[in-house]
Amino acid sequence: MGTIGDVGEFGLIARLTRRLPQGPDVRLGPGDDAAVISAPDGRVVATTDLLVEGRHFRRDWSGPYDIGRKAAAQNLADVVAMGARPTALLVGFAAPPDTEAGWAERLYDGLADECRVAGASVAGGDVVGAPGITLAITALGDLGGAAPLTRSGARPGDVVAVRGRLGHAAAGLALLTGGRDGPAELIAAHRRPEPPYAAGEEARSHGATALLDVSDGLVQDLGHLAGASGVRIEIDSSAVPVPAILGPDGLLHALTGGEDHAFAGTFPPDAVLPSSWTVIGTAREGAGVRVDGREPPTGAWDHFPT
C-alpha cells in the first residue's frame, strides 16, 4: 500500500474519508472548507486535545487502532462530562511522510469505531506532514436544552460519586513501563479506555450539581472541581473501588491515575443513585481535597516534565 508520502495528501484524505461513515448529525462532512454539524440546542459544546507521540502514546506499546479509540474516547468523555450528547469529532493528523498509509487507516478505523460507540461521527479534519505523529482532536456535542454540568456547581453537603474504572490505565502503564505485558486487562485498559458514556445523561437525570471526567487522576481532578466550586472534597478511601487486580499500589493508582476517563460528580445529599455509581465522599465548606482527613497522595500527570 505504501507510505502516506507515496499516496500524497489528497490520496491519503480520500483513503481516510472513505472509512468515516457520517451519522445524521453531520449535515456536511469532509471535503469542503468546513463541516456543518447539527446543534439543535442552539449552543454547541466544544473541546480539543493534542496527543503527541512519545508523551501521550507510544507506537511500540499501542497499535494504531487503539490509539485512535483512546484519542476519540478522551475527547468524547469531555463532552459527556458537560452533560452533553457527542455529535462529531474533527481530527488533525500530523505524521512523517514515511508512515505507512495502512497505519493511518487503522488509526481512523479506531477513531470512527469509538465515535460509533458514543453516537458521534468524524466529520472533518486536516492531514499534514511533520517530524513526529501528533493528533489534534476536537469533539462537539449538544446539550439538548439542559444547563451544562460544569465543575463549579458543587455545594457543601453534596455527595461525591464516581462511575467507571479508576486506576486501571495507570496500573497498565506502570506494567508497560516495567517491561511487563500482563495482566492483560490492565494493559488493555491503558491502551483503550472505556468511558461509560451514559454517565452524563445519568448524572443529569439524578440532579448532579457538578461533573467532570477523570483524565489527570481522581484527586487532581476533584481538586479542580473543589476549586471551581469553592468547596472541600473529602474522600473516604475505603469507599473508593480498588479491585484486587490493581495490585499492592491499587489505591494509589485509583487516587492518582488518569486516563481511564471515569466520571466524578457531586449530587444533592438525598440523591438516590443507580448502582453503577459509587459514593466515595462528601463536599464540605473549605478548600482542597482530603483523603481520610489527610493531604492526598500526589503523583499526577505533569504535562511539562523538566
Count Cα neighbours of 258 within 13 Å in the Cβ-side half-sphere.
Answer: 20
Segment 255 to 294, residues that bind a second copy, using CB under 8 A:
none
Distances from the Cα of 103 to the Cαs of 15, 50, 99, 132, 207, in angstroms?
12, 19, 7, 14, 43
Give whichever of 293 and 305 is closer to a second copy, judged by the CB atom.
Answer: 305
User: Residue 138, annotated ligand binder?
Assistant: no
Grid cell 505533569 is found at 302
Encoded one letter per residue, x for contact with a second copy by CB under 8 A and - for no contact, window 3-42 reads -xx--xx--x--------------xx--xxxxxxxxxxxx
- Interface residue with a second copy, options 66, 105, 202, 213 (CB under 8 A): 213
- Interface residue with a second copy, options 68, 71, 78, 291 (CB under 8 A): 78
Grid cell 490493581 is found at 246
126 membership: H or E segment, kind and range: strand 121-129
Segment 103 to 132, residues that bind a second copy, using CB under 8 A:
123-132
Residue 93 lies near a second copy (rule: CB under 8 A): yes
Give whichever of 9 and 285 is closer to a second copy, judged by the CB atom.
Answer: 9
User: Residue 151, annotated ligand binder?
Assistant: yes
User: Residue 215, annotated ligand binder?
Assistant: yes
The C-alpha atoms of residue 205 and residue 274 are separated, in whole angstroms, by 11
Alpha-carbon 8 to chain mean position: 31
186 membership: H or E segment, kind and range: helix 184-191
Give whichever of 125 and 172 is closer to a second copy, judged by the CB atom.
Answer: 125
Which residues define the annotated binding site? 33, 47-49, 56, 78, 108, 125-126, 151, 213, 215-216, 259, 301
